[in-house]
Structure 1
Amino acid sequence: MTTVKALAALVRGHSEPDVYASAREFYLGLPQPDPAADTEARSRQVYTNLRAAVRRDKDAGLLGLDIGALTTQLTWAAVTDPSLFIATLLHHGMAHGSVLELSGADAESATTALATCTSIGVFAVTELGSAGGHVALQTVATFDPDNRDFVLHTPHAGARKIMANAGDAAPKIAVTYADLVVNGESVGVFAFTVDVSNAAGPLTGVQVSPIHTPLLPLDYAIIRFDSVRVPYGSWLADGATIDQEGVFRDVARTPAERLTRSYRILGNSWPSFLVGVSAATRAGVTVAISAAQVRKASGAQQRYLIDLISQQRTLLSALATAYALTSLANRAVGERTAVGLSAPTIAGERRGLTPWTAVNRAHSSWKAIAADRAAATLADCRLSMGVQGTLTANRVVAYEGLARACHAAGGDNTLTFVDVGYTLLEEANESSGEGDDRPDIIDLGEPNCLLALLHRRVRHLRGEIHASSARHPGEDRATFKDRYFHELRDLGEAVAVTDVMAAMIDDMRKLDGHVRPVYGWIACLFGLQEINRHLHSFVTFEILTRCQIAGVARMIESLCVRLRPHIVDLVDAFEIPFEIADF
């Protein structure tokens, strides 16, 4: 098998080759929104394309429960138009997925409207008024025993919802999360399907205020509910009931478990975001490398930019990150496909700054690291292209916008890292101890050695927090997280980096012959980038000697020299036909 075919199969991951190729052909052939048009006109084109995708796929109505099929569509939606990626994910993966997963057949009308794209799905969770408001929503759904329905209300301006897909560019159904009140008592956070607009605009009691973000041109809006009546059948009850006497019963044992059960559809979002940002990174890297292959440096030699070691270090490092995020995305999709949407097991009453780590700690942190590294990598691609990197026709700015928007979408990256770091500390307190993971021989050109070094940094970061926290015994959880916010963030991020490296090593082992060492070089380049990013840690914790630290830059340069002859194959394996625009 050729290098291109072997790596292309790795990039496709769990997608069937013919399905992947068909999706590629369809999405790349879609008409693009006019970049000069206003947001509403662009959004209408996005929704036209979304409906075209539904008409094309007879099984599109089940995409919310089929993460493998969904992520194949999302891959090429992200490459074609990042706004279409967000609209597709929110509609199929989040809104319709919530209805299918949490309600069964009870919300039949919403299921039909979403499956056929008669209405576009909105996922209304985030509220404006508080940081980390997902944990303590202010929007209230009060059960009315006389009418056996619910009254959905926004009690103050801070409880207004903000979300994409929420404007007037098409009829909308919002899966709206609210605190359910029964007999005067809060019984937990639940989702409800709410018709918020039709072709004529917002419905009675619903106030929709358009709002814009430069990161993604889509019809974002702020939504406020003024005592909107919601039928009992629109409650996505997830096994909970309210009987004829008004008695509430729930399969969840505690409010924390109810919160996590209600949010478990987010398990769809993290692999999907991973797929989207990794696809966008591959596309941005493709365009940037194509630019470096045709543009020449000024001066007497007139060499192509790709032949300059300075450009190679930037662009080959970007290429390595694109492969790293692809490996991580494929691992997440595989794990999600294997376990499905089964309700998570709750460990006691643990709940952090966000509920995401209770739903799936690994996948939430993988989304965070992928969005962070994609944004940095795409910024490097944009800068490497000069003014060409800023042009709409070259798409790199749009891809970078998607990655930066994903910092907050699907859970704030920083808060996720903090929660992961804190959970890791708790687990260390409960464990009997650890051994030394220092590799016997330091070989900066060996992926497993680099993984061991990254693990060692995690161990030292954790130990440093433990040592420092001993000076403040008995602090409650909130105070502890506030005091060590930045340290916990660094620890959570470091753990995620080790997971990325491990995913690359697993993919490397799947490759045979001459392709395996090439991918090994790619994995090493990614690992060395991460070590280089945190050199101070490796010096402070004496993980590497000063001589070994000096060898990091030399090894990066050596890997660039080895990879330069393979760069065309490495990019062709992405199967992205974009090149720098020819004006």
Structure 2
Amino acid sequence: MSLASLPVATRDEMQRLLHGSCDSSFLSALHKALAAGRGPADAGKADNGGRQLLHRLRLLGETLPKANRLLDDPAQVAAVHAWAAVADPSLCLAALVHHLLCLGSMAQLADGQGEHLGRLMEALRAGRAKGVYLITEAGQANSHLATRTHAELDRATGEFVLHTPDPQAAKFGSAGTLDVPQTAVVLARLVTDGTDRGVFAFVVELTGDDGLLPGVEVSSPLGLGALPLDYVLVRFHHVRVPYAHWLADGAGIGDDGTFHDPAGSSERRLQRTLRVGQGLWATMPAVAAATARQSAVQAVNYARQRRTQGKLSPGVPLLAYRTQQRAVLGALADAFALTCAADGARTVWAESLAAPVPPAGNGAEAMGFTPWAAVNRPLAAYKAAAVRLAARVTAVCQSRCGFSGHLDVNGLAAYHGFHHAFDAAGGDSQLIFYDIGRSLAEEGGQPPGETPSAPPASPHWWPAVVRRHQNSLTQRLSGQLRTTDPNAPFDAWNPLLEDAGLLGEVYADVLVAEDVPRTLDGIRDHGLAQALRPLAALHGVMAARRWSGSLLAHGTLRPADIRGLSVVADELCDAIGPHLPLLTEAFAHPDDVVCAPLAAPDYDTALRATLTWTRGGTQ
């Protein structure tokens, strides 16, 4: 069965599954924007220099709402960046920073735009300037909690003076594209009358048409092969910033110098300033899902075409082997789970955008090891879980495609590099897991509950198992914490951090696991649900196999349960087989967006078409 043969209503439901509420006209415009000017020679390259990057950001921006309404439709925002990641991960990262962190900060934190700030925002949306976000200070760990770059108010002029106090406070970011205008959102410690008022965001123009602006200093490039962009260190030398470029988020300074801030404390101020990260976290599952789907489709395509010459059965395709089935169909199943998680994350983000920012002291989680879980625990967890699972999926697909999986032209290396690098970017995933585990242990949790009654071949089995496992881990860690000295937090937590990280990761897996049957149960078309049900169950079985050590160690499952999972996985692979044409066609992105030979009906011919040949002995 192919996608074209399905009823229109079924195709529409599949589109909603993959792209949320985005309609066909929006997806068509997005397709056109990304396909413009691309060809096979562009695949795997980073078009991240100057005017070309601005041109591509402009094409993407034209598909989105106006700058001040940028976040009105989370599904469109997620789809733009997901498709961009499939076309070119470096473009996706530039766009995430440009739209969600730079423009997003202005849209969410500015108290009225003002004429000049409004012009800067529109220039960013229209691709006349590149957006940068400068938060990390390269010389110290956890710099988000101890920002040392400062912006001091000059009462005489009403401007802020932005300054880097020492070399260790230099900002790290993708700000090395010096041949085009760049506008940055810079996080700095606000100082008035010699008093630290907390960390705020400031809009700073870094470059103009003629290069760096006065007082801005940029290092030579920092190479990062896994995710090629224009990374540099940035320092500020008494740069004058207009008062209107302070993204005050409700704070203010009176004519007499009196400072007021609705956040109520420096810690709460940092959480409010960093809440723009929620858009990035909510979008990353969609990005992870799109690249994972494309990777899995290409791996399945390769496994169906590639004939083996092994002695067991010469001439059979790779996909005939159980080991290959579990790997590449398991990757397809994980990609489906990420697709479900993308919808869950969008829902959480939409609810967050609709909810008013709580006043000081109300509705805010206390900050722990990092600010991320305190800003939004589930969205931080979604980000961390999504990039790790997508990195695993793309790595498996690379491995199962032999040397073809590592060729730049096929894109799998770029997908893997993107997600592997993003484990530390956008909020370090391991620190997020530590912090979530800490907060869960301090809250106490619930008893583990009964052993799940659903069989492993059911999509409802794994969510019940992993939820029980989370409760068990929470109870154990809470018990360990109660035996420690609350007045010595480092001594208490230092030996427990590994367990806290494990608990945080399980919490994130619970979110993904529960999104899968929730999504499946919401599909009205019976035939489509039948095609997706074994895929949903296979994700759970493969996840249980990955978690088997922890599940056994804590008694969540028995050895016999784990031993039986291989048989269940094979049965589910057999059930998926008849639906593969439909699934791979639906999950694949258009050829002129992907431009990968591995996605072609005849891979060998498509690869040769990208090559030129030189023969010796000819004139």
TM-score above 0.5: yes
Q: 1:440 to 1:324 in 2, by over 3 A?
A: closer
Following the alignment from structure 1 to structure 2, what is the Cα–Cα distance between the partners of residues 126 and 249? 26
Corresponding position: 1:90 with 2:97: yes
AA at the equivalent of 2:399: L
Residue identity (%): 31
Partner of 1:444: 456
Amino acid at match of 2:607: D
Q: Which residue of 2 aligns with 1:291?
A: 302
- 1:237 matched to 2:248? The reply is yes
Corresponding position of 2:16: 9
23-32 vs 357-366, greater mean Cα deviation: 23-32
2:145 counterpart SS class: coil
Aligned to 2:148: 138
1:498 match:
510
- Equivalent residue, structure 2, for 1:356: 372
Residue 564 of structure 1 is matched in structure 2 by 577
Pair 1:394 & 2:419 matched: no
Aligned: 1:419 with 2:435: yes
| One-letter amino acid matched to 2:20 | G
Shift of 1:325: 0.8
CA distance in 2, matches of 1:327, 1:269: 17
| Cα deviation, residue 5, structure 1 | 5.7
Do the aligned partners of 2:102 and 2:184 also contact (CA within 8 Å) in 1?
Answer: yes
Q: Is residue 192 of structure 2 the alignment partner of residue 182 of structure 1?
A: yes
Distance 1:43 1:396 in 2: 25
- The alpha carbon displacement at 1:24 in A equals 2.3
Task: Find the aligned partners of 1:441 and 1:272 in 2 and give their Cα distance.
Answer: 34
CA distance in 2, matches of 1:304, 1:33: 26
Q: 1:532 aligns with which of 545, 550, 560?
A: 545
Tell me the SS of whatever aligns to 1:190: strand
Alignment CA distance shift 1:307-1:27 (3 Å) = same
Match of 2:614 in 1: none
| 1:242–1:32 distance in 2 versus 1, CA, 3 Å | farther
Q: Which amino acid aligns with 1:393?
A: V
Contact 2:19 2:75 in 1 (8 A): no
Mean Cα deviation higher: 448-457 or 190-199: 448-457
Aligned Cα RMSD in Å?
2.3
Q: Does structure 2 conserve the Cα–Cα contact (< 8 Å) formed by 1:501 and 1:523?
A: no
Residue matched to 2:617: none
User: For 2:451, what is the secondary structure of its paired residue?
Assistant: coil
Change (3 A) 1:171 1:132: same
Q: 1:57 to 1:531 in 2, by over 3 A?
A: closer
* Aligned twin of 2:133: 123
CA distance in 1, matches of 2:292, 2:218: 33
Q: Which of residues 207, 217, 220 in structure 1 aligns to 2:228?
A: 217
- The residue that corresponds to 2:293 in the other structure is 282
Q: Please give the alpha-carbon distance, in whole angstroms, between the structure 2 residues aligned to 1:347 and 1:219.
A: 39
In the alignment, the residues of structure 2 paired with residue 95 and residue 440 of structure 1 have an alpha-carbon distance, to the nearest angstrom, of: 45
Alpha carbons of structure 1 residues 216 and 491: separation in structure 2 relative to 1, 3 Å:
same
- Where 2:587 maps in the other structure, the secondary structure is coil
TM-score (norm 2): 0.88
One of 157, 176, 189 as aligned partner of 2:167 = 157
SS in 2 for 1:134: helix
Q: Which moved more, 1:35-44 or 1:213-222?
A: 35-44
How many angstroms apart in 2 are the aligned matches of 1:479 and 1:344?
A: 35
CA contact (8 A) 1:64 1:96 kept: no
Match of 1:73 in 2: 80
Amino acid corresponding to residue 560 of structure 2 in structure 1: C
The amino acid that maps onto 2:587 is F
Assess, with a 3 A threshold, how the Cα gap between structure 1 residues 59 and 349 changes in structure 2: closer, same or farther. Answer: closer
Q: 1:466–1:427: structure 2 CA closer, same or farther, 3 Å change rule?
A: closer
Give the SS at the match of 2:217. strand
Q: Which of 496, 501, 504 in structure 2 is aligned with 1:484?
A: 496
State the shift of 1:38 in Å: 9.4
Give the distance between the partners of 1:367 and 1:183, measured in 2 at CA: 39
Letter in 2 for 1:546: P
SS of residue matched to 1:573: helix
Cα shift readout 1:526-577 (whole Å, capped 9, x = no counterpart):
1112211121222222222222221112111211121122122111112413
Alpha-carbon shift at residue 222 of structure 1 (Å):
1.2
From 31, 34, 58, the counterpart of 1:27: 34
**Runs of 4 or more above 6 Å deviation:** 32-41
For the 8 Å contact 2:67–2:122, the answer to whether it is kept is no
Query: Whole-Å Cα distance in 2 between the matches of residues 105 and 24 of structure 1?
Result: 32
- Is the Cα contact below 8 Å between 2:26 and 2:63 reproduced in 1? no
Cα distance in 1 for residues equivalent to 2:475 and 2:164: 45
The question of whether the paired residues in 1 share the 8 Å contact of 2:452 and 2:464 is answered with no
Letter in 1 for 2:130: I
Q: How much has 1:109 moved relative to structure 2?
A: 3.6
Q: Which runs of 5+ in 1 are unaligned?
A: none
Instruction: Give yes or no for the alignment of 1:263 onto 2:274.
Output: yes
Partner of 2:3: none
Matches within 5 A, 1:53-72: 53-55=60-62, 59=66, 62-72=69-79
State which of 292, 302, 323 in structure 1 corresponds to 2:336.
323
Contact persistence 1:314–1:380 (CA under 8 A): yes
Where do residues 362-377 of structure 1 align in structure 2 (5 Å cutoff)? 362-377=378-393
Distance 1:35 1:218, change over 3 A: farther
Quick check: 1:410 aligned with 2:426? yes
Deviation string 1:100-133 (CA, Å, 9 cap, x unpaired) is 2111223334223323322111011111122221
- Does residue 130 of structure 2 align to residue 114 of structure 1? no
- Pick from 192, 211, 232: which aligns with 2:202? 192
Q: CA deviation at 1:65?
A: 4.9
Note closer, same or farther for the CA distance 1:25–1:60 as it changes in structure 2 (3 Å cut).
farther
* CA positional deviation for 1:30: 4.0
TM-score where L is the length of structure 1: 0.94
Shift of 1:191: 0.4
Which residue number corresponds to residue 182 of structure 2?
172
Question: SS where residue 128 of structure 1 aligns?
Answer: coil
Partner Cα separation in structure 2 for residue 422 and residue 37 of structure 1: 40
In structure 2, distance between residues paired with 1:425 and 1:220:
38
